[in-house]
Homo-oligomer: A and B are copies of this chain.
Amino acid sequence: MHAISFIQDLAVIMLVAGVVTILFHRFKQPVVLGYIVAGFIIGPHTPPFGLIHDEDTIKTLAELGVIFLMFCLGLEFSLRKLFKVGATAFIAAFLEIVLMIWIGFEIGRWFGWNTMDSLFLGAILAISSTTIIVKALNDLKMKNERFAQLIFGVLIVEDILGIGIIALLSGIAVSGAVSSGEVFSTVGKLSLFMIVALVIGILLVPRVLAYVARFESNEMLLITVLGLCFGFCLLVVKLEYSMVLGAFLIGAIMAESRQLLKIEQLIEPVRDLFSAIFFVAIGLMIDLSVLIEYIWPIVVITVAVVLGKMLSCGMGAFIAGNDGRTSLRVGMGLSQIGEFSFIIAALGMTLQVTSDFLYPVAVAVSAITTLLTPYLIRAADPLSLKLASVVPKRLSRVLSLYGEWLRSIQPQGEGAMMAAMIRRILLQVGVNLALVVAIFFSGGYFAARIGEYLSEWLPDLAQQKALIWGAALLLSLPFLIAAYRKLKALSMLLAEMGVKPEMAGRHTQRVRRVIAEVIPLLSLLVIFLLLSALSASILPTSELLLLIAVVAAGVVALLWRWFIRVHTRMQIALLETLDNQKEHHP
């Protein structure tokens, strides 16, 4: 009977995992490593024999493990946190990822691996492990120190960039080549999709969850959460993105709901169950003979991970204005790879573009660097003291001057407020334009299908296109108007700041007004040109376009106030949801 061999597998996995993790816990090692070792013990490559019969089903459940891991990562991620993390996190994460991908790629080439293997190795080394770091800082009781907060910020940015890397790698693996144009288009589409998904998701999902939560049934809430999670993953897969991205995004969307704590409480046992299977399944794949064969790459890569991350993250933290000690602690805390690396390695295997040895090598490096993490964190302080005594006085003076200089050039008072306001306006314009672009994109994407429906009573293709394009424009109007108004506010602000009376004399007011009118109109023109280019497939003929423009102008003139009201209501709903969330988590 199929079911019994499956239950047997689960029994073996859970029993061995249970015993090994208890042993690991006793010796103060991360539980995750225990799972991997348990998988190794019961794996097919380890004597006496493979204890798992139905590896396919286990692997399917392991995929569920990845989904739940990323979903929970999304739940713990939050837009508000992302807005709060400072420059340090962005700079350190960006530097780390670029540097580590480059180092990984070069190491791969040096060992004579092919391009794809080297590229995936780079990506595998790029992202540190949230699970391991949180666990280690918890154990060391350092979670509330400043450097720990910086590390959490870096991890949040890493998550987003990691999602981007996965999307990019999928694209590159399919096309087989890296072209900068493709990278831009992939990143652009991905950002667009993420913005649209987040905006629509945050408008809809928390409302659905709040409705279901009213029934006060844990079961119904759980089923709804799972339905939304899997449903969204499916949608994302249909759009040819990775399931991982979907799980993370829907997690991030649900993180904005009021039911977050309850959802986490319900989903955690499910995640623990499936992620245990995921990590055990990783262990199943470890073949000791492969590890021995690739012992040198493993050693080299491990050293590269520790030193590379120490340097890149430490440098990033320092460049962003932290003192040497804190920077070193940030760098040494992030010196390991974990779950993201497994997911990227698994991606390469599923897409069949990487060699078989890459996965076990990644697991081995992750295991070693994970074991090192607590020691590295503890060693950071003594090391920084020793470094301080070794570094020449003059250099250390220069370094501390850099920090002072950085603080001196940061906008203060009114300037800082202005900068924050400009950032805010630009963000709003960006989000509105993303929605507009998404509407036109979908119009182009579904044009053929919509055309079929239309062809019965509108056989002319040109007229169909005009209708679709016009409808897209109509739908976009609230967002376009909002973007226009924000841009106008921005240009007034800029005109005020840029055109000083001492330069323009008595023309000051007039120059300012001209600038404030011209900039938004110019921007809108650029936006329309861009839209026309992006929606080329459904762009109507110029006569029809003119007609549409006239109609649109009429609609805008008539419904200007109504459009503004609709948009304001949506914006308020969105901001309310974002503000409603409760603080939680470390």
Contact = CB atoms under 8 A, between A and B. Distances in A.
Interface of A: 1-4, 6-8, 10-11, 14-19, 21-22, 25, 31, 56-57, 59-60, 63-64, 67, 212, 215, 217-220, 222-224, 226-231, 233-234, 237, 243, 266-270, 272-273, 276, 350
A110 B301 CA distance: 76
A219 B31 contact: yes
A264 to B, nearest CB: 11
A267 B218 CA distance: 12
A26 to B, nearest CB: 8
A368 B46 CA distance: 54
A11 B227 contact: yes
Nearest to A271: B219
B224 A18 contact: yes
A46 to B, nearest CB: 19
Given A234-B7, A268-B218, A269-B218, A223 B25 contact: no
B218 A7 contact: no
Which of A19, A60, A64, A218 has the most chain B CB atoms inside 10 A of its CB?
A60
Nearest to A220: B21
Contacts of A8: 234
Contacts of A230: 7, 10-11, 14-15
B14 A231 contact: yes
A350 B1 CA distance: 9
Given A11-B227, A11-B230, 13 more contacts: A3-B59, A4-B243, A7-B243, A17-B223, A17-B227, A22-B215, A22-B224, A25-B215, A25-B220, A31-B220, A219-B272, A226-B273, A267-B269
Contacts of A273: 222-223, 226, 270
B222 A269 contact: yes
B7 A233 contact: yes
23 contacts: A3-B63, A4-B237, A7-B64, A7-B234, A7-B237, A7-B243, A8-B234, A11-B231, A11-B233, A14-B231, A15-B227, A15-B231, A17-B223, A18-B212, A18-B223, A22-B224, A25-B215, A57-B57, A218-B268, A219-B272, A222-B273, A268-B269, A269-B270
Contacts of A11: 227, 230-231, 233-234
A278 to B, nearest CB: 12
A230 B18 CA distance: 12
A182 B186 CA distance: 70
A1 B233 CA distance: 14
A490 B266 CA distance: 52
Nearest to A10: B230
Contacts of A243: 3-4, 7
A232 B25 CA distance: 24
Contacts of A218: 268-269, 272
A249 to B, nearest CB: 15
Contact of A56 (B2, B4, B18): B2
A8 B350 CA distance: 18
